[in-house]
Amino acid sequence: KRPAGAPDAKLARPVAKVGVVGAGLMASQLALLFARQLKVPVVMTDIDEARVAKGVGYVHAEVDKLLAKKRLAPDAAARTKALVSGSVSKEAFADADFVIEAVFEELSVKKQVFAEVEAVVSPECILATNTSSLSVTAMAEDLEHPERVVGFHFFNPVAVMPLVEIVRAPKTDDAVLATAFGLARSLRKTAVLVKDAAAFVVNRVLLRLMGEVTAAFDEGTPAEVADLSLKPMGLPMTPFTLAAMVGLPVAQHVSESLHAAFGNRFHVSANQQALIDAGIRGLWAPTPDGGHEIP
Ligand code: CAA
């Protein structure tokens, strides 16, 4: 059955090579997923060799874990590793059919990245964004081919979370959208078409919950109490554990985007550092910049 809003699957284009912009936690998880499920070459880029090496190293380490758990056969593990490469140059995307960005959650950065990628790829190459909260329309508007842009939003941890939110911008063409739906299917994810509204659907729901927890903290409830009180409520992870996994700067950006779009429906804590300094220490270990290290 065709997912709601999905164009005719016959319009989908083949994807024989994938580019991933960024080599951080999300980008590395995406590179692994694409290589493992699509079995096509995937190249990751980042701003320096160390970041690229860390991203490729993450993919190799995850493949080794899957091998040890017998979730991947030795030949599939070797093939998956061989399919993933890294580069500091976006020229590596020259022959890619689909490039997805998972860089810092800042509109100007993402627009710059898309402009740089557009300069090296073919006019048909699809540019996808894994943004969790920013406007896909705004990301496309200054490009020569805005019809090639689509939102393709995954959830952490990418390997196990079953959903992908697909976002159509006003100029996204049907072939691009059909390719995105086809890719989601090949990646064994459930795809839903969502409006290009701040934080789409899932993060709006999630951030209401997170906002109430941080509001309780801001009102004086100890962090451990605010967080751990939610543990018996059937959530797979407590809110701060989830924030740590996603990365505190990302969580903060999403809450700021939602506050800007919807006002006081979304709470932005003025005490982010205090949250880190308070009881959260026992739950997770943030990096000095408030981020989350790739394990
Ligand atoms: N990478 C790869 N695999 C992972 C993983 C990771 N980071 N974490 C867990 N897994 C795998 C485990 O290996 C295990 O697989 P096997 O059965 O093959 O061994 C399986 O997932 C289940 O893991 P566990 O038994 O250790 O733990 P669990 O049952 O508690 O499930 C979880 C883990 C699926 C992550 C669960 O805690 C969960 O659903 N948490 C909530 C996640 C969530 O809400 N994500 C959305 C975040 S918001 C976001 O990402 C959007 C954004 O834009 C900011």
Residue 88 and residue 211 share a domain:
no
Any ligand 1 atom below 6 A from CB of 250: yes
Residue 116 and residue 69 share a domain:
yes
> Which residue in 60, 145, 153, 292 is the catalytic one?
153
Residue nearest to atom 22 of ligand 1 (CA): 160
User: CA-to-CA distance for 17 and 54, rounded, in angstroms?
Assistant: 21
Q: Supply the pLDDT for residue 280.
A: 53
CA-to-CA separations, 186 to 34, 40, 251, in angstroms, rounded: 9, 12, 29
Listed residues 145, 170, 194: the one ending a domain: 194
Contacts of 6 (CB under 8 A, 6+ apart): 177, 178, 181, 191, 193
User: Is 237 a domain residue?
Assistant: yes
User: Is 208 a domain residue?
Assistant: yes
Q: Which atom of ligand 1 is nearest to the CA of 71?
A: 18
Residue 228 and residue 154 share a domain:
no
Residue 229 and residue 160 share a domain:
no
Q: How far is the CA of 275 from the centre of ligand 1 (A)?
A: 23
Listed residues 166, 194, 222: the one ending a domain: 194
Please tell me the pTM assigned to this model.
Answer: 0.92
Residue of 160, 242, 246, 248 to mutate, ligand 1, most atoms within 8 A of C-beta: 160
Residue 162 and residue 92 share a domain:
yes
Any ligand 1 atom below 6 A from CB of 246: yes
DSSP assignment string, 271-285:
-HHHHHHTGGGGT--
pLDDT tens for the chain, residues 1 to 295: 788 889 999 999 999 999 999 999 999 999 999 999 999 999 999 999 999 999 999 999 999 999 999 999 999 999 999 999 999 999 999 999 999 999 988 899 999 999 999 999 999 999 999 999 999 999 999 999 999 999 999 999 999 999 999 999 999 999 999 999 999 999 999 999 999 999 999 999 999 999 999 899 899 988 777 877 887 788 888 888 888 777 777 788 888 889 999 999 999 988 877 776 654 544 444 445 544 443 3
User: Is 288 a domain residue?
Assistant: no
Residue 109 and residue 218 share a domain:
no
Domain range enclosing 271: 202-281
Listed residues 161, 194, 227: the one ending a domain: 194
Residue 248 and residue 133 share a domain:
no
Any ligand 1 atom below 6 A from CB of 187: no
- Residue 153 is a catalytic residue: yes
Residue 145 and residue 52 share a domain:
yes
Q: Computed over its alpha carbons, how large is the radius of gyration of the chain?
A: 19
Where residue 164 sits, what CATH number does that domain have? 3.40.50.720
Where residue 231 sits, what CATH number does that domain have? 1.10.1040.50
Q: What is the ipTM for the molecules in this complex?
A: 0.95
Residues forming beta bridges with residue 275, ordered by sequence position? none
Any ligand 1 atom below 6 A from CB of 156: yes
Instruction: Label residue 243 exposed, middle or buried (CB < 10 Å: 0-12, 13-18, 19+).
Output: buried
Any ligand 1 atom below 6 A from CB of 242: yes
Any ligand 1 atom below 6 A from CB of 63: no
Q: How far is the CA of 155 from the centre of ligand 1 (A)?
A: 10
Q: Which atom of ligand 1 is nearest to the CA of 130?
A: 53
Q: Which atom of ligand 1 is nearest to the CA of 65?
A: 13
Q: How far is the CA of 236 from the centre of ligand 1 (A)?
A: 8
Residue 220 and residue 87 share a domain:
no
Q: Which atom of ligand 1 is nearest to the CA of 251?
A: 54
Q: What's the domain count of the chain? A: 2
